[in-house]
């Protein structure tokens, strides 16, 4: 497979993640959409690494993205649990009530 196939796959994954984040109001779905977008970036980084196998920068950056995704998931779930305890809902439209 050429790099164009990986580019198309990563673009579709990123588009699905972005559409899921923008269209849904459930905070858990939005976190999963962010994870999908981060995974599409990993696919793209590893595809570029496959084009130039002597340089391992794509793999190194992919490991950093995985570390950031793990930290984002841990913090996001902690915020989600705290938000649910206050509002008893996961709807992000009600988050404006937390300002007061």
Query: Is the distance from CB of 43 to CB of 6 less than 8 angstroms?
Result: yes
Please report, for the chain, the start and end positions of each structural domain, with discontinuous segments joined by +: 3-93
Helix (H) or strand (E) run with residue 12 in it = helix 3-23
Q: Above 70 in pLDDT, residue 39?
A: yes
Q: Count of H helices and E strands in the chain?
A: 3, 0
Q: Above 70 in pLDDT, residue 97?
A: no
Angstrom distance (rounded) from CA 30 to CA 22: 8
CATH topology of domain 3-93: Helix Hairpins (1.10.287)
Q: What's the pLDDT tens digit per position in 59-95?
A: 999 999 999 999 999 999 998 898 888 888 888 887 7
């Amino acid at each position: 497979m050429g790099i164009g196939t990986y580019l198309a796959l990563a673009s579709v994954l990123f588009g699905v993640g972005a559409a899921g984040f923008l269209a849904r109001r459930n905070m858990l779905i939005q976190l999963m959409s962010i994870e999908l977008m981060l995974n599409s970036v990993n696919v793209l980084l590893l595809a570029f690494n496959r084009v130039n196998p002597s340089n391992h920068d794509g793999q190194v950056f992919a490991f950093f993205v995985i570390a950031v995704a793990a930290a984002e998931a841990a913090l996001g779930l902690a915020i989600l649990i705290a938000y649910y305890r206050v509002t008893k809902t996961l709807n992000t439209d009600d988050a404006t009530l937390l300002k007061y």
